[in-house]
C-alpha cells in the first residue's frame, strides 16, 4: 500500500478517530498540555486532521485553507526537544491504537508520524 492509498482505506472517519484520540490526551499531559495552554484545541485538531487527510490521499482541504504545510515554520514557536517529541509520539501512538485502523494504514501512519515528530525537533535539550 502506498501512502496516498491510506485515505481510501480508512476515510475521513479514521483520521477523525486518530486526531480526536490524540487531542483528548493533550490537556492532561504534563509536557504537551502546557505547550498548548489555552489555545484552540478544536482548531488544532481540525488542522491536523485536514493535514493528514491531504497528506494521505484525501481531499486538499488543508491546502485550500492554509496553503503549503510549512511544518517547521508553523511549529517554530514551540520548544520541541527529544522529550517533547517522544511524548507527542507516545500520545499519538496511543491514539493510533485506540482508532483501531487496519494494520497496513496504521503502519504507514506510525512511520510518518514518527519521522515527522523527529523532523520537528528544534531544541537540543535532552533526548530519550
Q: Is the pTM of this model over 0.85?
A: yes
CATH code of the domain in which 18 resides: 1.10.490.10
Q: What's the mean pLDDT when you consider all of the chain?
A: 90
Q: Is the confidence at residue 29, as pLDDT, over 50?
A: yes
Count of domains forming the chain: 1
Q: Which residues span the domain enclosing 74?
A: 3-119
Query: Is residue 77 included in any domain, yes or no?
Result: yes
pLDDT level of residue 66 (50, 70, 90 thresholds): confident
Query: Is residue 125 included in any domain, yes or no?
Result: no
pLDDT level of residue 125 (50, 70, 90 thresholds): low
At 55 the pLDDT is 95
Query: Is residue 124 included in any domain, yes or no?
Result: no
Query: Is residue 112 included in any domain, yes or no?
Result: yes
DSSP secondary structure of the chain:
--GGGHHHHHHHHHHHHHHHHHHHHGGG-TTHHHHHTTS-HHHHHHHHHHHHHHHTTS--HHHHHH-S--HHHHHTTS---HHHHHHHHHHHHHHHHHHT--HHHHHHHHHHHHHHHHHT----S---
Query: Is residue 37 included in any domain, yes or no?
Result: yes
Which whole number is the average pLDDT over 25-50? 91
Amino acid at each position: 500500500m502506498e501512502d496516498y492509498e491510506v485515505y481510501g482505506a480508512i476515510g475521513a472517519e479514521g483520521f477523525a478517530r486518530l486526531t480526536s484520540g490524540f487531542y483528548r490526551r493533550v490537556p492532561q499531559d504534563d509536557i504537551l498540555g502546557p505547550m498548548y495552554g489555552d489555545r484552540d484545541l478544536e482548531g488544532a485538531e481540525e488542522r491536523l486532521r485536514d493535514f493528514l487527510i491531504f497528506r494521505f490521499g484525501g481531499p486538499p482541504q488543508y491546502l485550500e485553507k492554509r496553503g503549503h504545510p510549512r511544518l517547521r515554520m508553523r511549529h517554530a514557536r514551540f520548544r520541541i526537544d527529544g522529550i517533547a517529541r517522544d511524548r507527542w509520539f507516545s500520545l499519538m501512538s496511543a491514539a493510533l491504537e485506540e482508532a483501531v485502523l487496519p494494520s497496513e494504514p496504521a503502519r504507514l501512519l506510525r512511520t510518518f508520524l514518527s519521522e515527522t515528530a523527529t523532523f520537528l525537533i528544534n531544541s537540543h535539550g535532552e533526548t530519550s
